[in-house]
């Protein structure tokens, strides 16, 4: 995809671009969400680091994050460099963007994905205006999911797909551990220990996700759905609903 560099001007080194894309300081609002963990703590389902690690491990193994990450990879693959120009399979991107909307089990999860996606799309357009032709397939009047925007941004910045996949999962885990540190509460060192413990699972799932066929895009996420629904009606909340 070296042709993209000539079109976009000064391109950051791919590994540095990935660090920026998954940085917790990226202004997309990810820190506002706990994906049901706040309700799980309130209901005493999660009360310590071990239970939080078990929850995150199960989500990585069987939950909707693996499907969401697979859609990110499909958006990435829809971006191509052909004849010294950026090309994109618009129908593919539109299909998977609509597919994600249909598969969000609760309003809270759907709004999170669309809010973060819209914020990331705006940020990418502000940072690298040359990316605009890619986003014409999802005009500003149409909500864009975070996985879609991330995949297109990673492809445009020439980030290796396996590395982008690892980064996407690592960012998700890091954000929810941060929520757990505040909610359980856990110490910062315990949070870092959790992140280190989950790295083998992240690595294993990243490889599995990239090999998923379309008919394998399913998850066992009823626990997340119930937690999200509980959070939507929770009396007091630290995290956004």
Helices (H) and strands (E) in the chain, counts: 12, 2
DSSP-assigned states of every residue in 162-225: HHHHHHHHHHHHHHHHHHHHHHTT--HHHHHHHHHHHHHHHHHHHHHHHT--GGG-----HHHH
pTM comes to: 0.92
Alpha carbon 147 to its chain centroid, in Å, reads 5
- Which residues contact residue 133 at a Cβ distance below 8 angstroms, ignoring those fewer than 6 apart? 86, 88
Q: Looking at residue 113, what is its pLDDT?
A: 97
- The predicted-structure confidence for 21-32, as pLDDT tens digits, reads as follows 999 999 999 999
Per-residue pLDDT tens for 58-69? 999 999 999 999
Three-point CA angle 192, 109, 202, nearest 5°: 35
Class of domain 3-23+30-226: mainly alpha
Average pLDDT over residues 55-60: 97
- What ranges do the domains of the chain cover? 3-23+30-226
Residue that the structure tokens 């929520």 belong to: 179
Q: Which of the four pLDDT bands, split at 50, 70 and 90, describes residue 148?
A: very high
Q: Are 31 and 37 in contact (CB under 8 A)?
A: no
Alpha-carbon distance 60 to 52, whole Å? 12
């Amino acid at each position: 995809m070296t042709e993209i560099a000539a079109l976009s001007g000064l391109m950051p080194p791919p590994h540095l671009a990935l660090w920026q894309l998954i940085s917790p300081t990226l202004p997309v609002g990810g820190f506002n969400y706990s994906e049901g963990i706040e309700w799980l703590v309130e209901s005493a389902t999660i009360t310590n680091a071990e239970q939080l690690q078990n929850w995150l491990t199960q989500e990585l193994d069987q939950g909707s994050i693996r499907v969401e990450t697979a859609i990110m990879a499909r958006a990435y693959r829809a971006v191509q460099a052909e004849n010294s120009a950026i090309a994109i399979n618009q129908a593919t991107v539109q299909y998977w963007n609509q597919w994600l909307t249909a598969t969000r089990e609760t309003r809270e999860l759907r709004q999170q994905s669309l809010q973060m996606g819209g914020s990331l799309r705006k940020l990418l357009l502000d940072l690298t205006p040359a990316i605009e032709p890619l986003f014409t397939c999802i005009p500003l009047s149409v909500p864009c999911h975070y996985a879609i925007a991330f995949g297109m941004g990673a492809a445009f910045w020439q980030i290796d797909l396996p590395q982008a996949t690892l980064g996407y999962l690592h960012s998700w885990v890091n954000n929810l551990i941060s929520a757990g540190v505040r909610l359980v509460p856990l110490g910062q060192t315990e949070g870092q220990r959790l992140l280190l413990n989950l790295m083998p699972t992240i690595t294993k799932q990243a490889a599995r996700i990239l090999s998923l066929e379309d008919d394998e895009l399913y998850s066992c996420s009823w626990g997340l759905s119930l937690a999200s629904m509980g959070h939507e009606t929770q009396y007091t909340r630290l995290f956004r609903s």
